[in-house]
Amino acid sequence: MKSKFARILLAIAVTLTFSAFAQTGSAATPGTASALPSAPSSAAATTTPVPNTGTKVGAINIEGAIFNCNEGRRDMDTLQKKFEPKQSELKGQSDELESLKKQLSTQGDKLNDDAKASLQKQIESKQKVFDRSVQDAQEDFGNQQQEVAGRILQKMAPVIVKYAQENGFGMVIDTSKPWPQSPILMAGEGVDITKPVIDIYNTQSGVPAPSGSGAGATKPVTPKAPASTTPKPTTPKPSEPKQ
């Protein structure tokens, strides 16, 4: 699960990256030394247009392009494998919690007050540790996923800008999130440039398609962070009245 914070950072990175390329293209003048632009302010990022004379409107799924290009799929597969031990650890904690809760549910009416209180306290303590472990794992995964996305975006941004300029697009909108999460109600396939951008980037990067995956796969895939396997709370069954 991608964290909301990671999505916000990715959106900011997209804005700043494209603004930087826009400034590079428009600020260069004869007789002045060329230099890499520094990160622009948020105000500049929203007002600096990409130099283009195109009139068409295009659409691109930025997240889909990043995580479905060969480099993105390779790096996310590596990241997923890196977190497999943590997944196994969380599953072990979840199974242990489930076992204790089942014990409380099925044997709670047979335990004396001290034993029952001790078991409940043990469950509460392990639940807190488990919940914190899940949160930490998801945040760690989200941060590392953001690093992957930011690194690829820095190299993919000029590809998007160049493609838009060469194909007459005066505006390109991001369709990573569906309406109503974003203001984009719809974008037809005829204006979507995600696939050609991925194809160009794959050729430019030289990274081969991950083994076992179709070379023509273009359906956006969003990687998932370690999932929470929090056991559902169980309520001890009330003891039946004695006849």
Domains of the chain by start residue, with CATH: 4-25+40-205 (3.30.910.20)
Residue 135: count of CB within 10 angstroms of its CB: 12
The 3-state DSSP composition of the chain as helix, strand, coil percent (nearest 5) reads 60, 5, 35
Is residue 180 reached through a cis peptide bond, with omega within 30 degrees of 0 on the bond before it? Answer: yes
Residues 82, 147: Cα–Cα separation, whole Å: 15
Q: Which two tokens stand for residue 120?
A: 């409940």
Q: Rounded to two decimals, what is the model's pTM? A: 0.67
228: tokens are 């929470």
Residue 222 in contact with residue 2, Cβ under 8 Å?
A: yes
Residues, the chain: 243
Each residue of 172-205: pLDDT tens digit? 999 988 888 888 878 888 899 999 999 999 999 9
Q: Which residues contact 130 (CB under 8 A, 6 or more apart)?
A: 90, 93, 94, 97, 230
User: What is the distance between the alpha carbons of residues 38 and 55, in angstroms, rounded to a whole number?
Assistant: 29
Which amino acid makes up residue 4? K
What is the pLDDT, as a whole number, of residue 189?
83
Task: Give pLDDT, residue 185.
Answer: 78
Residues 226, 76: Cα–Cα separation, whole Å: 13
DSSP 241: P
Q: What pLDDT does residue 179 have?
A: 83
| C-alpha–C-alpha distance, residues 66 and 207, integer Å | 13
- pLDDT value, residue 111: 87
User: Which residue type sits at 89?
Assistant: E
Segments in 83-189 forming alpha helices (H): 84-107, 113-166
Each residue's pLDDT tens digit, 137-170: 999 999 999 999 999 999 999 999 999 999 999 9
**Token pair for residue 12?**
């900011």
Segments in the chain below pLDDT 50: 1-6, 8-9, 12-13, 15-16, 19, 22-48, 214-222, 229-243
